[in-house]
Amino acid sequence: MCGIIGYIGPKNIVPLLIDGLKKLEYRGYDSAGIAVVDSGKLYLQRVKGKINELESTLEGETVSGQYGLGHTRWATHGRPSEENAHPHRDCTGSIVVVHNGIIENYLTLKKMLREEGHEFVSETDTEVIAHLIEKYFEDKLEVAVQKALKELEGDFAISAISTKDKEKIVAAKSGPPAVVGIGEGEYLISSDINPLLSHTQDVVFLEDGEMAIIRKDGVEFRDFDGKPLDKPAERLAWNPLMIEKRGYKHFMLKEIFEQPQVLRDTFEGRISLDSGTVNLGEIEISPTNLREISRVVIIACGTSYHAALMGRYLIETLARVSVDVEYASEYRYRDFILDQNSLVVVVSQSGETADTLAALRAVKKGNPLTLAICNVINSSIARESLGVLSTHAGPEIGVAATKTFSAQMAALALLAIHLAQIKKTIDSQESLALIQDLQRIPHKIEMILNEADIVEKLAWDFVPFSHFLYLGRWINFPIALEGALKLKEISYMHAEGYAGGEMKHGPIALIDEKMPTMAIVPKDRVYDKMLSNISEIKARVGHILAVAFQEDEDIRDRVDDVIPIPSTNQLFTPFLTTVPLQLFAYYIAAIRGADVDQPRNLAKSVTVE
Ligand code: F6R
């Protein structure tokens, strides 16, 4: 969703802001703009569309400057247009604001401000903030911002500058993320760490209710009442190379190929082949507490929800605890029932998804144990959960989640084995065997990736189709859902994921020669059942591609095409079946010329409801 970048310091500011905006592009946006103050004069440029269009409008300009803001907008209030793009200004044109989030009471505020004589030029909720700051401005920007904040309802991260109170950026957070970068003689503010990495790895994450007053010689932190806060900087483990494409055509392809390493990193230090155990001491939920758990509820959205569904099978099978998996956007409004023996696991790559965060806050009222599985350290969800199990996937730039999905499944597999050890539902030999199987997964993924051209060749055959069915059963049912989601979000092809056994209850009516099926058929406890489902489709002249074990010769006579994968423990097949489906979606989208890394209408981190 919207992205904010701000800078104060000696560097050439316009290219710096543009570079920052490019690193925020992956969050999803439909318009962009910058505002720079150069020798006391404000320079502002905005466009509807992509950052390279903004760059073109800036060509030939000789603007430099000492401080400024940039913004990518994902429209919520008001269509994508130049007037609605940020930065927004007050009536005098001296106060400039960028905003991420939603001001829920903006209509009331707009009416009030209009009656007081303020003139509005956009349809956005954001513009009220600029006028409110104008209303309260005397001589100090931070004081006016602080007063304006008191009037705002909703979720927001804002940054403001002014030509009347120079060389200062005031930022505030109540909802969406905001992080201050502390460089050498330079300071930045951003919606996430990616634009900061090429300048500094020392950062301060703002918490809700906190402001930063950033000057060229330092940063001051305060709460919304003006009380000073002591917030030391922390050093990031991510580096700038991690957010480069490194020769791949798209970030998504690079991230698919990173999966073996991501899994190794996620297992590292947590599994021991010597003792045959999983050690998750880091999650700060004691074995005594975990032993008492009688129910697990996993809450997530989108791809993370699919990882959660896969985790359910693992936890139920290995730890013999009942697991419910819930969409955060639904659960938050339910009259749910949780007791002290429930463990609530929230799964979120970004750790900022508004629905997941709201569901976490709602469940915390009942005081259950909460555990976050997150990829972004220090994200809101990670900070607000009792325990955290980090997925060590590194930054994911492609909007479609790939490597973080595998890392989430890996984290859930570790959790399942950990719980099973604590509850003694598996013995040490079983535990060791599981760990050995898990450890072999990265190499098996490498084997699949080495033959990515098989998937690419097949993809060419299916580019002309408009619909696709994905079928899986048991632990691969979530992978059918995920495979279908990948195809729809990046290729805009209609795809449905179904549990194989559900076909005859309705969806089989769709089958004809125009509706191909991707069947996930590893040799597992439902293999024969899947074969029956495949026969039912074949009888209705549907074309079938199967993801199956390479040594499975029988399947070749039953389907039209096979994507082979190495065999593995049936509980861990999703790690392998996922990869060809990601590649398949990627190649179809790439062949179709789609914007693979930034699919239309999508945002990487959905920070509004
Ligand atoms: C799909 C995708 C989304 C996210 C969803 C939740 O490829 O990335 O469906 O999985 O928006 O995001 P997080 O995991 O950040 O909470």
Which pLDDT tens digit goes with each residue over 329-351?
Answer: 999 999 999 988 999 999 999 99
Residue 448, SS3?
helix
Distance 301 CA to ligand 1 centre (A): 6
Q: Whose CA is nearest to atom 10 of ligand 1?
A: 303
Whether 596 shows a pLDDT value over 90: the answer reads yes
Question: What does the pLDDT look like over 8-65, one tens digit per residue?
Answer: 999 999 999 999 999 998 888 889 999 999 989 999 999 999 999 999 998 877 888 8
Ligand 1 atom with the shortest distance to the CA of 300: 16
- Element (DSSP H or E) covering residue 277: strand 277-278
Choose one of 309, 329, 353, 380 to mutate for the ligand 1 pocket test, by most ligand atoms within 8 angstroms of C-beta: 353
380 within domain boundaries: no
Answer whether 87's CB lies under 8 Å from 34's CB.
Answer: yes
Total number of domains constituting the chain: 3
Q: Whose CA is nearest to atom 5 of ligand 1?
A: 302
Q: Please check whether residues 90 and 175 belong to one and the same domain.
A: yes
Q: What is residue 346's predicted lDDT score, i.e. its pLDDT?
A: 98
Average of per-residue pLDDT across 125-145: 96
609 within domain boundaries: no
Q: Please check whether residues 294 and 430 belong to one and the same domain.
A: yes
Q: What is residue 408's predicted lDDT score, i.e. its pLDDT?
A: 98
- Quick one: tokens of 298? 């996993």
Whether 603 shows a pLDDT value over 90: the answer reads no
Question: What does the pLDDT look like over 528-568, one tens digit per residue?
Answer: 999 999 999 998 888 999 999 999 999 999 999 999 999 99
What residues pair up with 322 in beta bridges, in sequence order? 295
Whether 421 shows a pLDDT value over 80: the answer reads yes
CA distance 32 to 51: 6
Residue 489 CB less than 6 A away from ligand 1:
yes
Average of per-residue pLDDT across 128-156: 96
522 within domain boundaries: yes
Pick the last residue of a domain from 447, 469, 494. Answer: 447
Whether 608 shows a pLDDT value over 80: the answer reads no
Residue 375 CB less than 6 A away from ligand 1:
no
How far is CA 176 from each of CA 152, 395, 498, rounded to the nearest angstrom? 14, 18, 34
Distance 122 CA to ligand 1 centre (A): 30
Q: What is residue 550's predicted lDDT score, i.e. its pLDDT?
A: 97
Q: Please check whether residues 542 and 402 belong to one and the same domain.
A: no
Q: Please check whether residues 268 and 223 belong to one and the same domain.
A: no
**Strands 234-235 and 202-205, sheet pairing:** antiparallel
Residue in the structure block whose two tokens are 């495979």: 483
Pick the last residue of a domain from 399, 428, 447. Answer: 447
Answer whether 607's CB lies under 8 Å from 354's CB.
Answer: yes
Backbone angles phi, psi at 351, to 5 degrees: 75, 10
341 within domain boundaries: no
Backbone angles phi, psi at 363, to 5 degrees: -70, -30
213 within domain boundaries: yes
Residue 303 CB less than 6 A away from ligand 1:
yes
Average of per-residue pLDDT across 98-103: 93
At CA 436, angle to CA 434 and CA 440, rounded to 5?
115
CA distance 488 to 35: 36
Answer whether 445's CB lies under 8 Å from 579's CB.
Answer: yes
Active site residues: 2, 604
Question: What does the pLDDT look like over 213-270, one tens digit per residue?
Answer: 999 999 999 999 999 999 999 998 888 878 888 899 999 999 999 999 999 999 999 9
Q: What is residue 358's predicted lDDT score, i.e. its pLDDT?
A: 95
CA 557 to chain centre: 40
Choose one of 299, 303, 381, 406 to mutate for the ligand 1 pocket test, by most ligand atoms within 8 angstroms of C-beta: 303
Question: What does the pLDDT look like over 342-380, one tens digit per residue?
Answer: 999 999 999 999 999 999 999 998 888 999 999 998 889
> Confidence class of residue 601 from pLDDT cuts 50, 70 and 90?
confident
Q: Please check whether residues 7 and 156 belong to one and the same domain.
A: yes
Average of per-residue pLDDT across 445-470: 97
Q: What is residue 178's predicted lDDT score, i.e. its pLDDT?
A: 95
Q: What is residue 243's predicted lDDT score, i.e. its pLDDT?
A: 81
346 within domain boundaries: no
What residues pair up with 35 in beta bridges, in sequence order? 44, 69
Residue 304 CB less than 6 A away from ligand 1:
yes
Q: Please check whether residues 585 and 483 belong to one and the same domain.
A: yes
Pick the last residue of a domain from 209, 241, 273. Answer: 241
> Confidence class of residue 199 from pLDDT cuts 50, 70 and 90?
very high
CA distance 548 to 255: 23
- Quick one: tokens of 99? 């905003």
Q: Please check whether residues 498 and 426 belong to one and the same domain.
A: no
385 within domain boundaries: no
CATH number of the domain encompassing residue 199: 3.60.20.10
How far is CA 550 from each of CA 69, 462, 532, 588, rounded to the nearest angstrom? 54, 22, 20, 23
Indicate the DSSP class of residue 593: T
Distance 304 CA to ligand 1 centre (A): 6
Residue 259, SS3?
helix
Ligand 1 atom with the shortest distance to the CA of 302: 9
**Residue-number span of the structural domain to which 528 is assigned:** 451-596
As a whole-number percent, the residues of the chain with pLDDT over 70 amount to 100
384 within domain boundaries: no
Q: Please check whether residues 66 and 155 belong to one and the same domain.
A: yes
Q: Please check whether residues 416 and 545 belong to one and the same domain.
A: no
Distance 95 CA to ligand 1 centre (A): 35
Average of per-residue pLDDT across 90-115: 95
Backbone angles phi, psi at 538, to 5 degrees: -60, -40
CA distance 162 to 67: 10
Q: Please check whether residues 461 and 416 belong to one and the same domain.
A: no
Whether 79 shows a pLDDT value over 90: the answer reads no
Residue 472 CB less than 6 A away from ligand 1:
no
CA distance 151 to 39: 32
CA distance 216 to 237: 25
Question: What does the pLDDT look like over 486-510, one tens digit per residue?
Answer: 999 999 999 999 999 999 898 888 8
Mean pLDDT of the chain: 94
Residue 350 CB less than 6 A away from ligand 1:
yes
- Quick one: tokens of 5? 């970048």
Residue in the structure block whose two tokens are 């984290």: 411
- Element (DSSP H or E) covering residue 411: helix 403-423
At CA 317, angle to CA 316 and CA 323, rounded to 5?
10
Query: Which amino acid appears at position 440 of this protein?
Result: R
Distance 349 CA to ligand 1 centre (A): 7
Residue in the structure block whose two tokens are 């790895």: 201
Q: What is residue 76's predicted lDDT score, i.e. its pLDDT?
A: 82
Q: Whose CA is nearest to atom 9 of ligand 1?
A: 302
C-alpha closest to that of 308 among 416, 211, 223, 380: 416
Q: Whose CA is nearest to atom 3 of ligand 1?
A: 302
Q: Please check whether residues 297 and 436 belong to one and the same domain.
A: yes
Q: Please check whether residues 428 and 499 belong to one and the same domain.
A: no
CATH number of the domain encompassing residue 544: 3.40.50.10490
Q: What is residue 195's predicted lDDT score, i.e. its pLDDT?
A: 94
Residues in the chain: 609
Distance 163 CA to ligand 1 centre (A): 39
Q: What is residue 473's predicted lDDT score, i.e. its pLDDT?
A: 98
Q: What is residue 245's predicted lDDT score, i.e. its pLDDT?
A: 86
Q: What is residue 526's predicted lDDT score, i.e. its pLDDT?
A: 97
Answer whether 324's CB lies under 8 Å from 338's CB.
Answer: no
